[in-house]
Structure 1
Amino acid sequence: MPAGPMDAADWDARYAAAELIWTAEPNRWVVEALAARPAGSALDLGAGEGRNALWLAARGWEVTAVDFSAEALRKGRALQAARAPLTLPRIAWVHDDVLAYVPAPSSFSAVVLAYLHLPDDARRTVVRRAAAALVPDGVLLVVGHDRTNPGEGVGGPSDPSVLFTADDVGADLAGLPGLEIRRAQRVRRPVDGHPRDALDALVEVVRTTEGNIGRLV
């Protein structure tokens, strides 16, 4: 789950320098959005060490976890083998750049973009492809550090060019048929050891049965 404009080699080095960069627990917003949904097929874009993919797989989901860091994926596989070996058949770990990866249309019942911070044009491309990959009633969850977080919150990147708001994601999806934005807001996330909360942009989108988005490249 890249949080800045570093390249794959930079992220390989960062992931190799510590046992876990991120917590092994799933993101609270992913749990909130998907815990009550029946297991299906999920796409985790910018999966990092796989905390959300592993949580989904443990709940019976078939997950495709995509990241451009080979080291992050190695750690995800190792974590899966050590802690959840029964889920091994349920996660396909895909070494690819999210900007190059184009999911098949209407192929996933959930798509997660958690703390994937990209410049505006790149984010728009990834978000629109993610929406196109949803089956009817599928859900797209986009969450990241809000544009106001550097000044008012804690953690995350400070580069404004890779931060976004919920309204930015809504604008990314403008003009695509068959989508309903169920939730779009700035939310507070408590951070252990910090007196201030982190501020996240959170968008939850559902693909309705109307409309055919088709393949976006």
Structure 2
Amino acid sequence: MLISGSILSADFLNFERNIRELEPYADAWHVDVMDGHYVPNISFGPQFAAYLAKCSKLPVSVHLMVKEPEKFVSLVPKTVREVTFHQEATVAPVRFCAMLREMNFLPGISIGPGVHESSILEVLPFVHHVLFMSVEPGFGGQSFIEPVFEKIKRLVKLCPDRNFEIWVDGGVDMFWGEKLKEIGTDLVVMGSAFFKAKDPGEFGKLRG
């Protein structure tokens, strides 16, 4: 299982140093873009990923927590590997997946805690990954919403020969990280637990 550090929890007063210090303990970085409409908060634009790429050699993914993600994707730097969006934020999710692939991004679809996994079944053949939100999107530092774990297990069981990855974002600590690894999760996005850990090396047992 891979660990992607959510930079929402980074020390922005010492951002570059913080990223370089934690780079050995992560496999990728995760940038949440919020527009104040799809979610109530505002974070930073997709272009921030370009600065992150100058600080680290690790892959970078962008999560578009925005309405009409088609209007934002042109701002995503070419250094980004994966772009995740929410199905309900666009009127044409399959077409948007094709647009992302044409731009050399790997498309991912995200579902919030209150969204049933069956709602994305028709889109699964077109995505690189499914990002399960295990907290309500738009806020950092929340606790893992337990019913999401069962939802992940249902999708894994439903798609035994899946050709997409399972990602989980929100409230992931060592406890939930171990449980998620056991059921075959490919990547977890970690924010507060990772950036504020006294010893980030402790998460090494989750990797691989």
TM-score normalized by structure 1?
Answer: 0.35
Structure ranking higher on relative contact order (CA contacts 8 Å, 6+ apart):
2
The structure whose residues are more often helix, as a share, is: 2
Question: Normalising by structure 2, what TM-score?
Answer: 0.36
